[in-house]
Structure 1
């Protein structure tokens, strides 16, 4: 069995706060986010070179990648539409790599052919997405030292339908599945937002996403399982079982806040476990909170090893102020 990678997304402003022991535990850091303006990638940073130098000093083997995009980040469809646009986009990526010493580029286009996030979308995005990645790969290959190219992929069937994953997989080093936000406050019923398996009445799950992308032509050894360091919440829930009707959405909590609630008894949450989904959640008679704890993450790590996947990634470093989950995942993947 190959060594399993651990990749952490980290906001630009949180890079300087990364703990040395966590940096040593990671194989990669995806910096969130580079954005697109006038067809080119740009990165808003204050101390980028200093922060990157510090991380590399702590862990010289660490791969630091600039993730481009994110929810509601526009510009991908426009840049990918023409050969000229794709070349311009790829050249801007190369300039940033040269300036900051990035080890690669991660594309987080949410999502090709979809305007859900308020971005421009056209049917041609499907093929243009592949062409954009080809242009990037071609430009990155001109560097003397190999540069990584990855994507963050929506973990639902609509993403596979609107992309050419078999061809895309041949271009990329790995595909990071966003196996979280599978259910959320936008749904009228509760659910496990990052559950490993489908629970009663559920369809979406991390396992379902892995099988979906594998069947679409992505080798298991190029698939990365996503983990969430935050929760999704519903209010007005009269039943503790997942799939129960909810009156409205609630807040998103960071992992450390959930730990604080459990330790202090605030909000009177009871911690519950769904053994079918291998997922943890909280309930207090009104609020249902879906999240991931060490037990749930252990099952995900075991799954990754059993399937011989590339590894795991998580969103996002600053959402765990207990600074415990990164090292926990490292230990589980190394077992």
Structure 2
């Protein structure tokens, strides 16, 4: 960091105590070791700006989810919540990549930007030290029965969560191929969205329950 003139570091461990990409080595004390690493960096570079990328689902400790990050606070400046990949091609239904709210989501995936911020605040992390990591890509799905309206607890209607087929598309990925993944910039280049995110030539709706744009 000092050699190349950087003034901080962002740590992105996906994920302590939980399998991530599929072939990670996972140990019960991963979160303890992550805290030790943060403390070591802070000791060696006390003036560095340190941020930590964390999952929207919370951090796992050796005996289950961590429920208090007070002891972590001196060792980082910001938490960046990874509020993306909430749903994807691996999910049992269609869903939203980065929903603002999860009020109408299936019970097995009740996560959103709103729930993630609320969770980390409950772990004693001050709101002014929480950052939101947004995706610049989306996922496409082929639904089985067409769009079926779903009534939400707040009375709104959602079309976001549908039975899906296993049909895949090549997407418009840049770099590593990811089926059904569409880069935001390419959606604009292809006319699905304007550069500022408004409607292109596709029918677009905002899913009221999650406050998320959906392109159909």
State TM-score, norm by structure 1.
Answer: 0.50
Which blocks of at least 5 consecutive residues in structure 2 are unaligned? Answer: 148-158, 170-179, 195-200
1:121 aligns with 2:39: no
How far apart in 2 are the matches of 1:180 and 1:263? 20
Question: CA separation in 2, counterparts of 1:194 and 1:235?
Answer: 19
2: distance between equivalents of 1:163 and 1:176? 17
Give unmatched runs, 5+ long, in structure 1. Answer: 1-96, 284-335
In the other structure, the counterpart of 1:130 is 35
Residues 11, 52 of structure 2: 8 Å contact kept:
yes
Pairing 1:254–2:189 present: no
Match of 1:206 among 113, 128, 140: 113
Tell me if the contact between 1:112 and 1:163 (Cα under 8 Å) persists in the aligned partners. no
The equivalent position to 1:149 in structure 2, one of 35, 47, 50, is 50
Helix, strand or coil: the match of 1:100? coil
Are the structure 2 counterparts of residues 158 and 175 from structure 1 closer, same or farther at C-alpha, using a change threshold of 3 Å?
Answer: closer
**Aligned-partner SS, 2:192:** helix
Distance 1:276 1:147, change over 3 A: same
Q: 1:270 & 1:159 partners in 2: Cα distance?
A: 40
Any idea what SS the aligned residue of 1:184 has?
A: coil
Alignment match, 1:37? none
- Offset, 1:154: 0.7
Q: TM-score, normalised by structure 2?
A: 0.76
Aligned to 1:139: 44
How many residues get paired? 180
RMSD of aligned residue pairs (Cα, Å): 2.2
Q: How far, CA to CA, are the matches of 2:68 and 2:26 in structure 1?
A: 16
Distance change (3 Å), C-alpha of 1:159 and 1:273: farther
CA distance in 1, matches of 2:124, 2:136: 29
Question: Shift in Å at residue 261 of structure 1?
Answer: 3.6
Q: Quote how far apart the aligned CAs of 1:148 are.
A: 0.7
Evaluate the alpha carbon distance shift between residue 214 and residue 263 of structure 1 in structure 2; reply closer, same or farther with a 3 A threshold. Answer: closer
Q: Tell me if 1:190 matches 2:94.
A: yes
Match of 2:210?
277
How big is each residue's C-alpha offset from its partner over 1:101-125, in whole Å with a ceiling of 9 and x where there is no partner?
A: 0111110000111233211110011
Matches of 2:187 and 2:103, distance apart in 1:
22
CA shift at 1:164, angstroms? 5.9
Tell me if the contact between 2:99 and 2:113 (Cα under 8 Å) persists in the aligned partners: yes
Q: Is the 8 A contact 1:179 1:209 kept in 2?
A: yes
The alignment partner of 1:149 has SS state of strand
Instruction: Tell me if the contact between 1:126 and 1:163 (Cα under 8 Å) persists in the aligned partners.
Output: no
Structure (1/2) with the larger helix percentage: 1
Distance in 2 separating the partners of 1:194 and 1:201: 12
Q: Per chain length, whose mean CA-contact separation is higher, i.e. which structure has more relative contact order (CA < 8 Å, sep 6+)?
A: 1
Q: Which residue of 1 aligns with 2:130?
A: 223
Shift of 1:196: 0.7
